[in-house]
Amino acid sequence: MTVRLTSASSLEALPNPRGGHVPAAQSALAEAARALEQHGDVATPLQHAVHALHDAGWFAAARFADTLLIASPLAVAGAAPSQAGAPARASAGAHAADAATAPDRDHAGDARTRFVAALHDLSAALDRHSLSEIACSPTLFAHQQALCEVLAPHAPGFALAFEDVALAGRPVPPAQLRPQPGQRLAQLRARFEAALLPALRAQDNGSRAAAAWADAAFGEMDACLTDLAGPDPYDFWRLAAACGRALRRGAQTSGETEARRFYARCNLALADHARGLRVAPQSLVRSTLALLWRDYALFGASADDTADVELLRDYGLTVEWHVAGSQDSDALWEAGSMEADQVASRVAPTRELGALAVNANAYEDFLQTADASMAALNETPGEAGTPERASAALLKADAAYRLGANAWALGLGHVALLADALGLAWRRVAHAAAGAASSASASAATPAFVEPDAASLEHAGEALRATLLKVAAGVAQPDVTAAVDALGRAIGHPVGLSAGHPAGHAGAR
């Protein structure tokens, strides 16, 4: 089987012609493909790809390349030279040995097939310069799951969840399960379970009656989630209700299996809530957030999605606004983007920032917008516990998110990660200040959470400024692990930046 990485697969999102690229990673993936075909060293070029992608801040891509690295020995075993030309074995024992090893050969061949497909589509995705697509593409994640399946017999416990890729390195604040009367929770749980059972049993067999039955069941569960949701911006059921709606909207493309699994997990969380749990499991929060963000990250948001966009911003995630178009217009845009990318690669000057190469014009535009965002971040936030502080903090969050979105579009992954984390922190400040002000005026209880401390915000702002100065000087982005981890602790959730490297493999970096 000849491995070719030249054709660009059509994945989910539109390509990003002004985005940066990681030449060392792209050439390393091509070298790995050649090495696999020639029965050479596949691991070394994949290690180079992992390092280059991580240095550029392309964390989801680095994690994908690291999974390829872990699976590469199995792919190499499947690419072993054929023994068809060897002398025929006459003994019955030899034939028995061949029969005994046939399953192993089949497994190795399957590993190679999956490896080649994954390598091809990762290379194609890098050519499209879209960090959103690399992070949230169901196609790319399916490749990683397929590799995990072939690794499972050799590495027990090795697994990869979608949120591990989509939210790689991002701090996620905790979500609350607010106290509610026990009788009300019991009634809502009974309603939810009564609707969950027919939803789980329903099969997509083309029957209109079955589809209507399942739709009614999903609608009832959505109503329960809405009834459970409270006014707190970090109420888990508020997040879950939005995620359920998003999954049902996308059921035509992703199927209802994922939605059923999500509602089943919500049922377990509802049982924990009834038993007195007051903070949702962080793994469930991350999974729910990633599923809600996925389609918005890939396809953008419309004016009707404003509430979901604001909810995502509460959790440190931004999306682009999308102008609706037809399949034909999207195809024309994609073709035009690819042509523009090819022209730019030939005639437009580029700037190299370590492992990342960016279009010089887009780079200059980014620096100008970054200056404006940093000026807004330097404004005085106002007195603690006042409405003015809440408004000022929201403006700072918006400035950080603008900077993060522009860095994400250009391919500056480290800058984007830190800017989004700072936007999240200021968003928490705004909500805490608004809650404190309303509590004081109403003589009510204190808000459900406290705002991040001033020292963490100041240190993160200085780290972001220092990072931008390095980018402006034309050097590589520094690693932002320490600053992002500090912000993670300040918002209530410690986070370790293992963005490019699954925990199951320590030797990739």
Mean pLDDT, contiguous 10-residue spans, the chain (509 residues): 40 82 98 95 98 98 97 84 42 44 58 96 95 96 96 88 96 95 95 92 70 88 97 96 92 73 97 96 97 95 94 97 54 50 62 96 96 93 76 96 97 98 96 73 51 92 98 97 93 53 41
Report the alpha-carbon distance of residue 125 to residue 165 in Å, rounded: 15
The answer to whether residues 308 and 242 touch, using CB atoms and an 8 Å cutoff, is: yes
**Fold assignment, 354-490:** Four Helix Bundle (Hemerythrin (Met), subunit A) (1.20.120)
The closest of 354, 495, 499 to 421, measured between CA atoms, is 495
Token couple for 378: 């330097």
351's enclosing H/E stretch is strand 350-353
359's enclosing H/E stretch is strand 356-359
- What pLDDT score was predicted for residue 400? 98
The HSE-up count of residue 428 (CA atoms within 13 Å, CB side) is: 30
Cβ count near 390 (within 10 Å): 22
* Burial group, residue 455, by CB count within 10 angstroms (0-12, 13-18, 19+): exposed
The closest of 58, 62, 124 to 358, measured between CA atoms, is 58
The answer to whether residues 218 and 189 touch, using CB atoms and an 8 Å cutoff, is: no
Report the alpha-carbon distance of residue 243 to residue 430 in Å, rounded: 24
Report the alpha-carbon distance of residue 150 to residue 30 in Å, rounded: 22
* Burial group, residue 92, by CB count within 10 angstroms (0-12, 13-18, 19+): exposed
- What pLDDT score was predicted for residue 213? 84
The answer to whether residues 387 and 429 touch, using CB atoms and an 8 Å cutoff, is: no
- What pLDDT score was predicted for residue 342? 55
- What pLDDT score was predicted for residue 437? 59
* Interacting residues of 350 by C-beta distance below 8 A, sequence separation 6+: 357, 358, 359, 360
Token couple for 438: 């309303």
* Interacting residues of 343 by C-beta distance below 8 A, sequence separation 6+: none
- What pLDDT score was predicted for residue 433? 87
Cα angle 62, 472, 136; round to 5: 30
**Nearest 5°: phi and psi at 351?**
-120, 135
Cβ count near 138 (within 10 Å): 18
- What pLDDT score was predicted for residue 206? 60
Q: What is the pTM of this model?
A: 0.86
- What pLDDT score was predicted for residue 333? 43
Q: Could you tell me the residue ranges of all domains in the chain?
A: 16-81+105-169+493-509, 182-314, 354-490
- What pLDDT score was predicted for residue 210? 73
Single-letter code of the amino acid located at 386: T
- What pLDDT score was predicted for residue 329? 43
The HSE-up count of residue 193 (CA atoms within 13 Å, CB side) is: 11
Q: What is the maximum alpha-carbon separation in the chain?
A: 93
DSSP 268-280: HHHHHHHTT--B-
